[in-house]
Structure 1
Amino acid sequence: MKKVACIMAAIAVAGLALTGCSKKADSSDKVIKIGIIQLVEHPALDKACKGFVDALAEAGYVDGKNISIDMHNAQGDQGNCVTIANKLVNDKDDLIFAIATPAAQAVANLTKNIPILISAVTDPESAKLVKSNEKPETNVTGTSDLTPVAQQIKLLKKIVPSAKKVGLMYCSSEQNSIFQINLAKEACKAEGLEFVEGSVSNSNEIQQVTQSLVGKVDAIYVPTDNMLAAGMANVVMVANQAKIPTIVGEDGMVQSGGLCTYGVNYYELGKQTGAMAVEILKNGANPADMPIQYLEKCDFSKNANTEKALGLTLPENL
């Protein structure tokens, strides 16, 4: 009986030991918290977000399993960006993905410890998110959506060879837009084109500012501007009626009525950012040492309905 009792006691101790090991293993299976803050809802930023989440899933980080994604949209409001950023930082997320410059700035201003991945930010350095695009030296890194502005202006010249003046439309409060417009001005000069600026400070001004360009310009160029991307239908409504071609910064704006673009694929840009997040989560990479990445491949796209409305036939070799 004593022998049996000893055996039973040993089994009980072993069971407790195994139970302890099991609890320890469970406690180490931490669910990673990822916060996402997106400036506004429009096709380009939506695609960047989807690409990011898909890249995580492909690497084995699946929402609801081993990661928990807390996704928020600021609806184009800077105040909302700050509120959302505060929540994500206070929640002590393990990583934050910020889509578009104002969203990225809102988060970066609140934490220097949580790794921040950014996308759809044209020039992180001039936005003061990193010390330099080559070596961030901050808790921020990610991908730039810098489009080939000079090539887009060349595209405009090819489509409207008789053009003399170009309307440059952008939101005056978006740093990424100002950066691109400065590039567009230089490109226009290189192509022998004059330009007329049409800046907006809020979405209610888009239709009015577009109307102010009618009769003054032969074509309109719109960079990857978040406010104008969300309000592209208002630009097109006026421009198409006046038979003014609109060359835009990215494909989502083409889908919303812009004539054409040669620009960045935002889904692939999001996936590229997701791959950088995996390097941080899986391999312990430090954002401070990770250069800002750019998407090498750009795509041509056009809106056939807009082409027809303008009475144009775009060259086949585009």
Structure 2
Amino acid sequence: MLLAKNKWLSLGALALAIAAPLHGFATEQKSVAVTAIVEHPALDAVRDGVRAVLAEAGYEEGRNLKWQYQSAQGNTGTAAQIARKYIGDRPDAIVAIGTPSAQAVVAASKSVPLVFSAVTDPVGAQLTPSWEASGTNVTGASDKLELERQIDLIKRILPEAKRVGIVYNPGEANSAVVVKELKELLPRHGLTLVEAAAPRSVDVGSAARSLVGKVDVIYSNTDNNVVSAYEALVKVGNDTRTPLIASDTGSVERGAIAALGVDYLDLGKQTGRIVVRILEGEQPGSIAPQTSENLELFLNAGAARKQGVTLSSELLESATKVIE
């Protein structure tokens, strides 16, 4: 009798062990599709931050989460193809990293939940009508920076500077809005803006060279073409002793002198928390777009020496991270 009883207990436990995961899979399975306009350290950090928060919330790939990721490799046509493919898959949420990818998803669907990230100006990019909860299928986390603080950083590092150069892609909405705002703000600080267009990543080096001798410093925003090819900008800066100041802290590790910017892993986690809210039942249109207040100052002392700049002890002491 004892043997028979143990046999039935064992069979019952086995049945429960089999049924439990099947039940969980059937009722909890979620799908998140991630698209990025290009791969570079900042955007990759956003993706990794989203994934980390989903894992912390109990969404495990292969168990109760279907995770997709594709990069458009800087091509807006490819971004549109990825968006259409994802819309056809009908995921629980699409995460679009970078303005062109977010615009591609918005153009393809007005119903599938979209969470944008690393978008400088979602209103200017026509992703949302305002910074309030939109009532649409779109929300997200922006990397918008207060440009007054960026100008202050330039003046702290180069107090004698008069001409600020910028290399950017005129076709990228987040870059176009930054250039427009800089044109208005810089003259108030005794500075002028000199532009150089780089419609493709391969144009970044030649655009930077066109600024040599015309500017005292080159400032780079979070333009995806520029950030993905930042080494080309660094080569020009080092070869011609033209100081480089960025808004992306990852660019400091790659050769810019300084950046006061968003922690993109943190921005990814912020984005991930929005995705979790949607997976748990909230509508994207009820969640107002967010910005990050977590700014960090990164300095590169070695790059400063190569580009002919001396960093003050006060500036060095105020930095979050100093790279030698």
TM-score, normalisation: structure 1: 0.90
Larger radius of gyration: 1
2:70 alignment partner, one of 51, 72, 89:
72
* Alignment partner, residue 5 of structure 2: none
* Alignment partner, residue 312 of structure 2: 315
1:204 alignment partner, one of 202, 207, 223:
202
Structure 2 SS opposite 1:311? coil
Cα deviations by residue, 1:23-76 (Å, 9 ceiling, x for unpaired) = 994674242111010110101100011111111111111222210101111111
| Structure 2 gap segments, 5+ residues each | 1-11, 316-324
* Alignment partner, residue 247 of structure 2: 249
Q: Which amino acid aligns with 2:33?
A: G
Structure 1 SS opposite 2:101? helix
Q: Flag the 1:27–1:158 CA change in 2: closer, same or farther, 3 A.
A: closer
The 5-angstrom pairing of residues 77-156 of structure 1 reads 77-156=75-154
CA distance in 2, matches of 1:29, 1:165: 60
Q: Which amino acid aligns with 2:210?
A: S
Cα deviations by residue, 1:182-238 (Å, 9 ceiling, x for unpaired) = 222233112111221112212222111111111111111111100000111111111
CA distance in 1, matches of 2:135, 2:177: 22
CA distance in 2, matches of 1:316, 1:275: 38
1:148/1:262 contact within 8 Å kept? no
* Alignment partner, residue 300 of structure 1: 297
CA distance in 2, matches of 1:159, 1:307: 10
CA distance in 2, matches of 1:210, 1:289: 43
CA distance in 2, matches of 1:271, 1:237: 33
Bigger mean CA offset, 198-207 vs 140-149: 198-207
CA distance in 2, matches of 1:27, 1:274: 21
CA distance in 2, matches of 1:168, 1:309: 20
1:35/1:70 contact within 8 Å kept? yes
CA distance in 1, matches of 2:94, 2:181: 30
| Structure 1 gap segments, 5+ residues each | 1-14
After TM superposition, what 4+ stretches of structure 1 lie above 3 angstroms from structure 2?
A: 22-28
Q: Which amino acid aligns with 1:103?
A: S
CA distance in 1, matches of 2:185, 2:45: 28
Percent identity (aligned) = 39
The 5-angstrom pairing of residues 38-49 of structure 1 reads 38-49=36-47
1:131/1:137 contact within 8 Å kept? no
Structure 1 SS opposite 2:313? coil
* Alignment partner, residue 258 of structure 2: 260
TM-score, normalisation: structure 2: 0.88
Indicate yes or no: 2:279 matched with 1:273. Answer: no
Bigger mean CA offset, 250-259 vs 167-176: 250-259
The 5-angstrom pairing of residues 153-172 of structure 1 reads 153-172=151-170
Structure 1 SS opposite 2:108? coil
CA distance in 1, matches of 2:227, 2:50: 20
Indicate yes or no: 2:187 matched with 1:189. Answer: yes
Number of aligned positions between the proteins: 301
Structure 2 SS opposite 1:40? coil
1:44/1:250 contact within 8 Å kept? yes
* Alignment partner, residue 287 of structure 2: 290
CA distance in 1, matches of 2:24, 2:150: 54
CA distance in 1, matches of 2:25, 2:233: 54
